[in-house]
Amino acid sequence: MMKCAFLGLGVMGFPMAGHLLANGHEVRVWNRTAARARSWQAKFGGGAAETPEQAVAGADYVMLCVGEDKDVLAVIEAIKGALRSGMTVIDHTTASPDCARTAADELARFGVNFIDAPISGGQSGAEAGTLSIMCGGEPDIFEAAEPIMRSYGATITRLGRVGAGQTAKCVNQICIAGTLLGLAEGLRFAEAAELDAETLLQAIGGGAAQSWQMDNRMLSMAERRFDFGFALDWMRKDLGIALDAALKMGVSLPTARRADDHYEMLQNSGDGRLDTSAIIKALDAND
């Protein structure tokens, strides 16, 4: 059993922290909105702290699952008084590779280990404990932390040193955006040709065009239903990280750029909380 602090109880962090507790670890949580931490405590047990520093005091592992770069660095600043040598911070936030390296350098001043470990699998994966976790960090630190992350992760992979996990998450989001854009174009082509979406899915869903997005979003896209977990506001944030990193590396991302443009249009129309599959709505508007 390890003493764990979990900081950030959004739609992902809330069930993830619950899985940690269910797997026998001692867990103390903190959330910027204190009522959320109290709700978690009422549902799962464990401890709820009033401040990040109180949550982290005495912990072996500290998990972060917050909003973006500035939130990661702000939380690290807030917990400095409780840091101790040998502790490991695991950041499940989708942040930039540069943020990961900055956080690791800052924590190293206190003898604290760091793993950047962004997650994929959505709210359903967090609730089921079947997330994919992409990690960057030193091999021995990763090996020690992997069994703990198994509490909520099914696929946990180290890709390299600090920053590699966030870079892999960029690849993940680039691929999702491109897949959704292709699926939206294909579906609109099918609609114009008066093909039935459900029959079409049966016809092509077992072939080379198959994808998770096709299996889980094609029919709801055909019905123009976009009430699923991952808001396009967050996809824009993630694509922004990828596009910034690509610019620094001199890599062109034309499909990701086009998807981002469509998402920007939807945001400007007040649709930022819709699921990422709403990209088809942007194509509808362009006709």
β-bridge mates for residue 264, sequence order:
none
Determine the residue type at 225: R
Catalytic position from the list 169, 237, 248, 281? 169
| Burial classification of residue 259, based on how many CB atoms lie within 10 Å of its CB (0-12 exposed, 13-18 middle, 19 or more buried) | buried
Q: What angle do CA 173, 248, 139 make, to 5 degrees?
A: 65
Q: Count of alpha carbons within 13 Å of 7, Cβ hemisphere only?
A: 28
User: What CA–CA distance (Å, rounded) separates 209 from 206?
Assistant: 8
* DSSP-based three-state secondary structure for 160: strand
- Contact call for residues 88 and 114 (beta carbons, < 8 A): yes
**Two tokens at 174?**
């680039």
User: What CA–CA distance (Å, rounded) separates 73 from 70?
Assistant: 5
Cβ partners under 8 Å of residue 56, min gap 6? 5, 7, 62, 79, 82, 83
User: What CA–CA distance (Å, rounded) separates 174 from 168?
Assistant: 10
| Burial classification of residue 19, based on how many CB atoms lie within 10 Å of its CB (0-12 exposed, 13-18 middle, 19 or more buried) | buried
Is 248 labeled as catalytic in the residue annotation? no
- Contact call for residues 138 and 113 (beta carbons, < 8 A): yes
The residues that are catalytic are 169
